[in-house]
Structure 1
Amino acid sequence: MSTEPDLETVLLGPVLADRECGDCVVCCTVLTVDTPDFKKAAGIPCEHLVPGGCGIHQVRPHICRTWFCAWRRVASMPDAARPDRCGLLVSVNFVREPRNCFEGVSINVRKLAGSDAIESGMADIVLDSLCEGLVPVWFSDGSKKMLMHPADEVARLVISGDPAPPHLSDEVAIWRKHYGVFSTNG
């Protein structure tokens, strides 16, 4: 058994001991699951959901035992940011064939259908808690996906490969160093 931390732990931190899923089952409906031992389509409630949660909790598949949304890992996210309370699901996203270097591995903030997270300001609070590190952050409102971090000007320079002006050169260089592996421009 490996003692190396998984990528989600490296990017978001360990699961916080003082946060429990409780009766939140957003991930059990919203996410796609495609593992050897369990498959479920996005937007479809898991076949094992029953009133009050998971009907097979004690014997649930490995992915369900080991995956946790960002609210369970990021201490700077407020308690009110639990997905069922705020209408946002935050997770690490892996894209096999990214369109740009910021899509390969990133944090994805999904606004859930019917959520008022934008109007209530919760989306801003959650994004502020995530947009400080060296991990791209995307926001999806259900109709479009927008890069929120790094800033547009930095992202354009990183993707294009164009020289950065002096006031952005250090930041652009750091992003290029870390995300150049996902570059689509050679």
Structure 2
Amino acid sequence: MTTPPRPSPPPLLVDDVLALLGPLRQMRDNHQARLGHYRDSDGEPLWDKIAAWEETRRETAIEASDALDSLLERLEQLVADPPLRAHTLVVAGPAHAEVDDWYHFVVNATALDDAARTLSQLPTYRQWLDDMRPGSNEHSGAPYLSLRRSHAGTPAPGMYWDLRDEQARTAGGQSSPRTAAVPPSPPPATPAARRSR
């Protein structure tokens, strides 16, 4: 008798899990490389470097413990009801005419409208928005949110401002009913997308 194939997890969930695994794998490899300096060819600690090996193990264990706390918070959000998923909000910078003036911000939310409300409450975003408003510098035009370019999931790693940790620290990561500081909808014509800073 043939076992039926297991259903694939939803694509967005797979993206979220892969986004969590990447930094964890990198941290593991870094820890192994650091400990490798104090091991022999069989992987055993060198007796003349046992103190340095123990200190490095202690340091890497603390870092792994901190990472585990963050991982648990993210996983709990993924299985929440309703589930909180990563959403990318794309905001045009003040130089609207420039092809590459787009910024990508990632938060956890149930949908794009919830993501926009959440983003508007985060201190980093609010500071960025204040810095980009007309009159605060030489730029012309106000930033605006492009819902057409915004989407569930994340762009390529390193190409966005990941505000999910800040979101988890502020107000328990929940959106508040305050008036959103989200920039207005885009004008009719929009430039091509860019990689965020």
Structure 2 length-normalised TM: 0.24
More strand by share: 1
Q: Pick the structure with greater CA Rg.
A: 2
More helix by share: 2
